[in-house]
């Protein structure tokens, strides 16, 4: 309890009594059956009983009627049978009347004889005493009450000594004792007086006994030899092990140890059953049993009867003992009869046709001689019930774990023969602690050789990383990511774990590819794929041309028996309709649909989800007879029928505000809530659903209130023809406005939705993962698959091949799909390139330095506009050669004048000619000049979309030392607003505008490269 409650006496007292389970029932039992206390006086006994009475009854808090009801309640419970009494006490009744109601409910829910009395209550026992103290039976069966006999012992006398022998409870089935002789009683067996035939001494009892001897079955000796053994693998050697629950350590024979180097790990003292002690050497072993691997330190014993003796240091030893086959089983008569019935059933089934065909039945046949499940089996069964079965089981970690633990004997040879490490060997600066004289400038990183092995030391970290050759990298990645001790962590954590011990060129790329292609990580990932851009539905202009339909529920059962709501909504007018249903059947849905059709006509299309009632044969026949086209949404994508789904939320939210506490009157509020929704403007259309359907504003409660305040003016009476013409004109105007409003609403919705969307597409034959709800919880989804894409049905809909399911081919929305990455063996230096929409991959010519000029495209202009454009554009305005302005020059203001000197980034060999050509062009244009500055920044080459090269310099460190320019950039919104009234918008792109602004003389030294 918290500190505030701990300061109050009543709270502390209540907590202590609750801790020791002391309540009113405890005081009642103590009051009814007070214990005997040595040396207690009559006055003390009275005080104790009075205190128990007050704690039990609490008379100060109850009236006389409540106290009397309490005693009636107690007596009522005593008269009930045991099972009914326990059930009634669980409901904690407060009065005897409540007990009577509970007993009636108990008897009404259970068929059979209506017996609730305790059979032993007030029943005469031996000697004429009843079950109630002081009770008896008179000559006519009426209960006679006699005064109870009490024995008073003076407290001033010596109390009686307690019995010396301990109390022994009576046996459960006491043996019959001889009845004392009674006069005028004749035995029907020997005709002698004084006893009855049951106690006749002439009748001698014949003793009987039972002896059961197990008959040894055939093959029992073989069972004894394998009952305590299981197959195991020790250090990649398959053998069998004996299960010894009395051994504290695992013992193995010497031939299972890899080399003698594994010995010498210590000693193990073993005490045998006869008291002898022996000392054995120990070694580390790798043990695999039933698919689980263990690293153990076992004793080496040469005289073992079995190759391996598994001890208590194997945590699954109890489960292994329970999983072995028992020696023999006792078959009861019920099991034998069940076995005979099963054989007879099988004989009858064999005579039926197709009896030899494998048929999957959803029937669990009773098993003969069921053995108890082990803890591991129960745990696996529980886990299987909470997971969704996919096409196949989760694949095992890539790589052979047996070979992972074996250290390579020729690591130095593998390093030297690896082509990807030749560059690293050329940059070695130290061999066995001796400097080689070469200083490879690698930003603080360097390679060195130690004991003929190549190591790498990163910058600002005193870590010696072993350089891993290409053939061993998969093993390192497997141990760093796949095994349980690695935990299948992400790319960053896996890279940090591996980088503490190993290194190789391109390690980040390999780790990234390995983690992304991990099958387990892909299936268990919580990250959803980015949604596809919004595709708006077509705008419907005719009322009730397209109808949306969905079901809400199950809800609380009403007094009329309704539990579901069938919701229908028109896509043109947004006019909703709701029908309460008792159950979801095709007939009830069809009847409700016919009621709506009788009022508004037959729709052309009906959009529903893939519910069972909507896909039934009955509803399809109704559609066929009425000429209705049924449209279904893709599975688990309710956004397709977003209008009805959104109205369902509104309807449920309004129902919560009006239903009663028990929630059983919601069907009575449906007409009023439907009227409330139809009377207000809809967000997309801007009009009332009533107005769009009937062409007028209906009269509501507010209109009644307004009419009581202000006398309405009499309206002019129009003729029928005039009214129809005005109504038609008004409906046409509203239809045009509604179409514009819905178009704008869809554009706004798409603008907000597409901010986090990304266009994704899949090709036929590509493997994808599918996000589906689990069988246990429809609100929880997980990735399943991978499945193969067969074809694309629409812009955002794909058909997947799903073997093993009832429907082998199903259509799904692209938002439920995610790309499956296969793990492939690729060279470590290979670049990972992903095609991103909007970017154009350059061809194999590797960024040509010049592009042939093309004439501007003006074919979209008229002839007059083209002439005007040529008149205002002088011939020398646009040129492929950059100019130079004399109006301004760029200067650099530095906070720190310490020279920045960075090392050159490595340029691919195939791009070096392009770099040289670009430098020559810049020299000819006077953009660059030779310099002997102490400042230096690296050069990078970036491809453009037009396949030309962009020569860039990495000035990030120089910019860090520059003074920040607080001049704000112009806001894009202001520029757009300034162009709001323009008829034409022209954008100009300077030819290498960065080169056209000259640098100040002092700033040229800082921009050297």
Max avg pLDDT among 87-91, 196-200, 884-888? 87-91
Dihedral angle of Cα 72, 75, 76, 78, to the nearest 10 degrees: 160
SS3 sequence of 436-451: CCCCCCCCCCEEEEEC
Q: Is the pLDDT of residue 404 over 60?
A: no
Give the model's confidence band at 535: pLDDT under 50 very low, under 70 low, under 90 confident, else very high.
Answer: confident
237 contact partners, CB below 8 Å, separation of at least 6: 256
Distance CA 940, CA 354 (A): 75
pLDDT > 90 in the chain, percent: 0
163 contact partners, CB below 8 Å, separation of at least 6: none
Which is nearest to 788 in space by CA: 758, 768, 812? 768
| Radius of gyration of the chain from its Cα atoms, rounded to whole angstroms | 46
Cα dihedral 236, 242, 245, 249 sign: negative
Dihedral angle of Cα 872, 876, 878, 882, to the nearest 10 degrees: -140
Distance CA 150, CA 157 (A): 17
For tokens 């302005």, what's the residue? Answer: 885
Give the model's confidence band at 441: pLDDT under 50 very low, under 70 low, under 90 confident, else very high.
Answer: low
pLDDT > 70 in the chain, percent: 74
Distance CA 808, CA 817 (A): 17
Cα 364–Cα 370–Cα 371 angle in degrees, nearest 5: 130
Helices 586-600 and 617-626, interaxial angle, to 10°?
20
Output phi, psi for 566, to 5 deg. Answer: -90, 115
The token pair that represents 897 in the structure block: 């004048």
CB 551 within 8 A of CB 567: yes
Cα dihedral 515, 520, 523, 524 sign: negative
CB 310 within 8 A of CB 250: yes
Buried b (16+ CB within 10 A) or exposed e, 498-533: bbeebbbbbbeebbbbbbeebbebbbebeeebebbe
Which is nearest to 819 in space by CA: 530, 495, 533, 398? 530
Helices 64-79 and 82-90, interaxial angle, to 10°?
140
CB 455 within 8 A of CB 449: yes
* Least-confidence region, from 126-130, 307-311, 451-455, 461-465: 126-130
CB 934 within 8 A of CB 901: yes
Give the model's confidence band at 579: pLDDT under 50 very low, under 70 low, under 90 confident, else very high.
Answer: very high
445 contact partners, CB below 8 Å, separation of at least 6: 456, 457, 458, 459
DSSP assignment of 245-297, as one string? TT-SS-EE-GGGSS-GGG--S-EEEEE-TTS-EEEEEEEEEEEEETTEEEEEE
Distance CA 229, CA 309 (A): 9
pLDDT in tens, 362-382: 334 344 345 566 666 665 565
530 contact partners, CB below 8 Å, separation of at least 6: 756, 757, 758, 760
pLDDT in tens, 536-569: 777 787 888 888 898 887 888 888 888 899 999 9
Q: 984: buried, middle or exposed (CB in 10 Å: 19+, 13-18, 0-12)?
A: exposed
349 contact partners, CB below 8 Å, separation of at least 6: 355
* Least-confidence region, from 222-226, 442-446, 940-944: 222-226
Distance CA 740, CA 730 (A): 16
Q: HSE of 133 in the Cβ direction (CA atoms, 13 Å)?
A: 6
Distance CA 735, CA 666 (A): 35
The token pair that represents 263 in the structure block: 């010995």
Alpha-helical (H) ranges within 9-41 are 9-19, 24-32
Distance CA 74, CA 87 (A): 15
The token pair that represents 164 in the structure block: 């010396």
The token pair that represents 405 in the structure block: 């633990």
Helices 507-516 and 491-499, interaxial angle, to 10°?
140
Helix (H) or strand (E) holding 51: helix 42-57
* Least-confidence region, from 190-199, 255-264, 683-692, 925-934: 255-264
Give the model's confidence band at 135: pLDDT under 50 very low, under 70 low, under 90 confident, else very high.
Answer: very low
SS3 399: coil
Task: Give the pairing of strands 502-503 and 267-271.
Answer: unpaired
pLDDT mean over 864-871: 77
Distance CA 78, CA 505 (A): 85
pLDDT in the model for residue 780: 60
Distance CA 270, CA 251 (A): 10
Q: How far is CA 195 from CA 181, 187, 204, 205, in A?
A: 6, 6, 15, 17
pLDDT in tens, 604-627: 889 888 888 888 888 888 888 888
pLDDT in tens, 157-189: 444 444 444 444 444 444 444 445 555 677 877
DSSP assignment of 482-533, as one string? TSTTTTT--HHHHHHHHHTTEE-TTHHHHHHHHHHT-HHHHHH--PPPPPPP
CB 801 within 8 A of CB 787: yes
Distance spanning both ends of the chain, measured CA to CA: 71
514 contact partners, CB below 8 Å, separation of at least 6: 477, 481, 494, 823
Buried b (16+ CB within 10 A) or exposed e, 447-467: bbbeeeebbbbbeeeeeebbb
The token pair that represents 119 in the structure block: 């059979």
Alpha carbon 166 to chain centroid distance? 60
**292: β partners:** 289
321: left (phi over 0), alpha (psi -120 to 50) or beta: alpha
The mean predicted confidence, pLDDT, of the chain is 73
Distance CA 710, CA 226 (A): 101
pLDDT in the model for residue 564: 92
pLDDT in tens, 710-768: 877 776 677 677 777 777 777 777 777 777 777 787 778 777 777 777 778 888 888 88
Max avg pLDDT among 428-442, 769-783, 809-823? 809-823
Domains of the chain: 3-128 (1.10.4020.10), 226-323 (2.40.70.10), 404-513 (1.10.340.70), 546-707+728-740 (3.30.420.10), 767-819 (2.30.30), 863-1007 (3.10.10.10)
Q: Is the peptide bond before 554 cis (omega within 30 degrees of 0)?
A: yes
**294: β partners:** 287
450 contact partners, CB below 8 Å, separation of at least 6: 432, 433, 464
The token pair that represents 702 in the structure block: 């507010």
pLDDT mean over 131-153: 39
840 contact partners, CB below 8 Å, separation of at least 6: 945, 947
Which is nearest to 498 in space by CA: 518, 474, 527? 474
């Amino acid at each position: 309890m918290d500190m505030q409650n701990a300061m109050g006496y009543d709270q502390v007292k209540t907590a202590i009594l609750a801790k020791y389970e002391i309540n009113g029932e405890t005081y009642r039992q103590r009051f009814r059956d007070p214990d005997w206390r040595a040396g207690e006086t009559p006055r003390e006994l009275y005080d104790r009983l009075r205190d128990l009475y007050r704690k039990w009854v609490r008379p100060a808090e109850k009236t006389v009627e409540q106290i009397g009801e309490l005693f009636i309640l107690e007596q009522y419970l005593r008269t009930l049978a045991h099972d009914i009494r326990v059930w009634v006490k669980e409901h904690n009744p407060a009065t005897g009347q409540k007990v009577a109601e509970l007993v009636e409910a108990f008897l009404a829910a259970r068929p059979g004889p209506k017996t609730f009395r305790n059979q032993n209550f007030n029943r005469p026992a031996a000697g004429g005493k009843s079950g109630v103290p002081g009770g008896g039976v008179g000559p006519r069966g009426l209960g006679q009450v006699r005064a109870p006999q009490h024995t008073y012992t003076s407290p001033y006398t010596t109390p009686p000594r307690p019995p010396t022998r301990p109390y022994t409870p009576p046996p459960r089935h006491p043996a019959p004792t001889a009845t004392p002789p009674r006069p005028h009683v004749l035995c029907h067996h020997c005709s002698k007086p004084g006893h009855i035939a049951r106690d006749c001494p002439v009748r001698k009892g014949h003793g009987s006994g039972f002896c059961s001897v197990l008959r040894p079955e055939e093959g029992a000796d073989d069972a004894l030899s394998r009952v305590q053994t299981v197959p195991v693998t020790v250090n990649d050697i398959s053998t069998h092990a004996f299960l010894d629950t009395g051994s504290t350590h695992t013992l193995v024979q010497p031939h299972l140890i890899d080399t003698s180097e594994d010995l010498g790990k210590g000693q193990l003292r073993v005490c045998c059953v006869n008291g002898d002690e022996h000392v054995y050497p120990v070694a580390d072993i790798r043990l695999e049993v039933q698919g689980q691997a263990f690293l153990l330190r076992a004793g080496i014993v040469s005289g073992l009867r079995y190759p391996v003796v598994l001890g208590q240091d194997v945590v699954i030893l109890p489960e292994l003992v329970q999983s072995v086959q028992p020696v023999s089983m006792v078959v009861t008569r019920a099991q034998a009869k069940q076995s005979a019935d099963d054989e007879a059933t099988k004989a009858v089934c064999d005579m039926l046709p197709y009896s030899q065909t494998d048929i999957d039945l959803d029937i669990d046949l009773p098993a003969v001689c069921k053995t108890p499940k082990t803890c591991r089996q129960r745990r696996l069964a529980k886990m299987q019930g909470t997971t969704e079965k996919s096409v196949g089981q989760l694949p095992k970690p890539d790589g052979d774990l047996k070979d992972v633990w074996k250290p390579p004997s020729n690591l130095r040879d593998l390093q030297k023969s690896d082509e990807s490490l030749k560059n690293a060997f050329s940059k070695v600066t130290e061999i066995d602690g001796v400097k080689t004289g070469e200083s490879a400038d690698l930003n603080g990183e360097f390679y060195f050789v130690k004991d003929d092995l190549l190591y790498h030391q990163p910058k600002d970290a005193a870590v010696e990383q072993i350089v891993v050759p290409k053939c061993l990298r998969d093993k390192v990645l497997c141990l760093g990511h796949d095994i349980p001790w690695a935990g299948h962590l992400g790319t960053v954590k896996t890279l940090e774990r591996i980088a503490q011990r190993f290194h190789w060129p391109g390690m980040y790329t390999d780790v990234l590819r390995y983690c992304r292609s991990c099958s387990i990580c892909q299936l268990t990932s919580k990250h959803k794929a980015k949604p596809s851009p919004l595709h708006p539905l077509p705008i419907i202009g005719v009322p009730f041309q397209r109808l949306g339909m969905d079901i809400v529920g199950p809800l609380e059962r009403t007094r009329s028996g309704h539990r579901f709501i069938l919701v229908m909504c028109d896509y043109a007018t947004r006019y909703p309709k709701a029908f309460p249903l008792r159950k979801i059947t095709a007939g009830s849905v069809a009847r409700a649909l016919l009621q709506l059709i009788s009022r508004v006509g037959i729709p052309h299309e009906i959009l529903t989800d893939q519910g069972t009632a909507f896909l039934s044969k009955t509803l399809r026949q109704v559609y066929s007879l009425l000429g209705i086209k049924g449209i279904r949404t893709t599975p688990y994508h309710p956004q397709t029928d977003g209008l009805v789904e959104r109205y369902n939320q509104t309807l449920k939210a309004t129902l919560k505000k009006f239903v009663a506490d028990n929630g059983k009157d919601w069907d009575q509020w449906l007409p009023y809530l439907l009227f409330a929704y139809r009377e207000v403007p809809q967000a997309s259309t801007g009009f009332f659903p009533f107005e769009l359907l009937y062409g007028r504003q209906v009269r509501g409660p507010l209109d009644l209130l307004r009419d009581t305040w202000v006398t309405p003016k009499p309206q002019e009476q129009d003729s029928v023809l005039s009214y129809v013409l005005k109504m038609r004109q008004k409906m046409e105007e509203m239809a045009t406005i509604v179409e514009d409003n819905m178009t704008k609403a869809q554009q706004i919705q798409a603008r907000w939705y597409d901010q986090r969307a990304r266009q994704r597409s899949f090709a036929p034959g590509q493997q994808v993962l599918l996000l589906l709800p689990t069988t246990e919880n429809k609100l929880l989804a997980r990735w399943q698959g991978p499945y193969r894409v067969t074809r694309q049905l629409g812009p955002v809909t794909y058909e997947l091949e799903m073997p093993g399911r009832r429907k082998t081919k199903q259509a799904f929305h692209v938002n439920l799909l995610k790309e499956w990455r296969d793990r492939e063996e690729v060279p470590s230096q290979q670049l990972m390139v992903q095609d991103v929409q909007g970017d154009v991959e350059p061809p194999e010519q590797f960024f040509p330095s010049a592009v042939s000029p093309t004439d501007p495209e003006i074919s979209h202009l008229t002839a007059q506009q083209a002439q005007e454009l040529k008149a205002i554009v002088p011939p020398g305005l646009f040129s492929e050669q950059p100019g130079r302005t004399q109006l301004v020059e760029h200067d650099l203001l530095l906070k720190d004048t310490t020279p920045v000197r960075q090392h050159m980034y490595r340029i691919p060999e195939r791009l070096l000619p392009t770099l040289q050509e670009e430098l020559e062009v810049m020299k000819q244009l006077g953009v660059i000049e030779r310099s002997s500055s102490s400042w230096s920044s690296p050069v990078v080459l970036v491809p453009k979309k037009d396949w030309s090269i962009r020569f860039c310099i990495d000035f990030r460190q120089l910019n860090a030392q520059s003074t920040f320019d607080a001049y704000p950039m112009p806001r894009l919104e202001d520029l757009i607003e300034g162009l709001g009234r323009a008829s034409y918008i022209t954008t100009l792109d300077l030819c290498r505008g960065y080169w056209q602004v000259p640098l100040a003389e002092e700033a040229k030294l800082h921009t050297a490269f």
